[in-house]
Amino acid sequence: MDDGSKNGDSPPTPGGQQDLEPRKCPMPHCGSSRVVRNGSYSTKRRGLVRRFICRACGHTWRGYGKPSDLFPEALFNDSDTSVLQAVALVAMGLPLSEVEGLMQRKAETIVERLKRCFERKEVWDRIVELLVTRHEITREEVKTLSSLLAKIKSGAASFHSPSRREAAARIRPHTRTDRKTQQASKEKFFEHAQEFCLERRLSWSKKKIEHLWGRQLRPPKPVPKRVKSAREILVARVQDVLSCQVAVTPTGHFYRLEDDPRVERWLQGVIDFDPNRGKKSLDLLDPLERMVFDQVRCPNQEAHLHAKLEGARGTLHGSPWEERMTLACMAEGLGVDAGEFIDRLKSAAEMLEP
């Protein structure tokens, strides 16, 4: 649940700024004016948040400084923009796991918000209108999502319906082996890896062995034309919704080029790695992973040139500016796609984890 209930507090009632100074208890059976403050804290999304307690019935609740303007009935502990963006990404067919990563909201939270909006007709009608006018979601896509939510509400379907799986398959290459064959191959790989570790006296974790196995599942190059075309269309739409640059990896995973906590975590892991203490792990990197590793730690001249151009972007003629090294600059310095760079960065960072 995303109502933000904390320490037993009930979600705040809609209404706006006046909720920060309530005069009466919101409980229908009480309504007492014996209301006192019970602490406060600040959040980036909602600003000042105050806790209150009713001395008559003991009910506790919170008041927000930034109430929802578009969906006050739904009691969202989030900005209207984030809620609408998440719904738009789901409506256009982006897999739920990708929406979760791009929005930095749990999949369960996103699904719960969709259900809560759909249950309130006035809220859902408002969202539909904004999806169509603001984010150019088609009426057919809205109809498909509404139909799915109606089935989920009645218990006739789940969010992992065939239509959702088909949408995901359009941007991800199919594997040629079935699940049983793949599982048997994985078990055999684990046995050989464990024997190898015993012979070489290596202390590889299960996670590292799984990462090595994952390398074998990378889709063959080039990506099929139909998949590539579907990705390009979806990337353009996602960028319009989020108002930022987005990259897609060869395996079909979407990442923000800036301010993506996942990418920042991998970058920091590579920067903090000590080659002297982890030489064996470093030797396991494939050639492109090693190039990405070196590029992150010491960008080449080509990357610095792009960083200088990036730093000068938007400045007035003759104005001072500084070099701005971004992930896109590092990728261009190697001459690879940003999605490929992120894929290899992730692979390298996971391999180098202790």
What is the mean predicted confidence (pLDDT) over 179-200? 65
Cα separation, 86 vs 105, in Å, equals 9
Query: To the nearest whole number, what is the mean pLDDT of the chain?
Result: 79
Give the CA count within 13 Å in the CB-facing half-sphere of 19. 24
Q: Count CB-CB contacts under 10 A for residue 222.
A: 9
> pLDDT value at position 9?
52
Region 23-40 average pLDDT: 81
Q: How many helices (H) and strands (E) does the chain have?
A: 15, 5
What's the whole-number mean pLDDT along residues 141-162? Answer: 85
d(CA 340, CA 231): 14
The pLDDT assigned to 157 comes to: 79
The whole-number pLDDT of residue 1 equals 38
User: Do 101 and 254 touch, CB atoms closer than 8 A?
Assistant: yes
Write the CA distances from 207 to 29, 124, 132, 214, 346, integer angstroms: 54, 42, 43, 10, 13
SS3 79: coil
Each residue's pLDDT tens digit, 268-311: 999 999 988 888 788 878 888 899 999 999 999 999 998 888 88
Tokens of 91: 């409506």
Of 4-8, 101-105, 261-265, which range is least confident?
Answer: 4-8
* Most confidently modeled range among 89-93, 187-191, 200-204: 89-93
Region 197-204 average pLDDT: 64
Amino acid 173: pLDDT: 65
Question: Six-digit token pair at 318?
Answer: 């003759």
pLDDT digits (tens, 9 = 90+) for 232-250: 999 999 999 999 999 999 8
Which of 48-62, 79-93, 134-148, 171-185 is the least confident region? 171-185
| pLDDT grade for 196, boundaries at 50, 70 and 90 | low
Q: Are 35 and 55 in contact (CB under 8 A)?
A: yes
pLDDT at 51: 84
Question: Do 91 and 233 touch, CB atoms closer than 8 A?
Answer: no
Q: Which distant-in-sequence residues (6+ apart) come within 8 Å of 155 by Cβ?
A: none
For domain 17-67, give the fold: N-terminal domain of TfIIb (2.20.25)
Average pLDDT over residues 163-185: 66
Q: How confident is the model at residue 4 (pLDDT cuts 50, 70, 90)?
A: very low
Which pLDDT band holds residue 6 (cuts at 50, 70, 90)?
A: very low
Most confident of 9-23, 187-201, 336-350: 336-350
- Residue 128 reports pLDDT greater than 60: yes
For residue 204, the model assigns a pLDDT of 65
Pick the more confident residue, 313 or 353: 353
Mean pLDDT of 76-97: 86
* Extended strands (E) in the chain: 35-43, 47-54, 60-64, 246-248, 254-256
CA distance 259 to 81: 17
DSSP 174: P
Question: How far is it, in rounded angstroms, from Cα 340 to Cα 309?
Answer: 22
Residue 46 has pLDDT above 50, yes or no: yes
Q: Write out pLDDT tens, residues 300-330.
A: 999 999 888 888 676 666 666 778 899 999 9
Q: Quick check: 75 and 113 in contact, CB under 8 A? A: no
Phi and psi for 325 in degrees, rounded to 5? -85, 120
Separation CA 283–CA 348 (nearest Å): 11
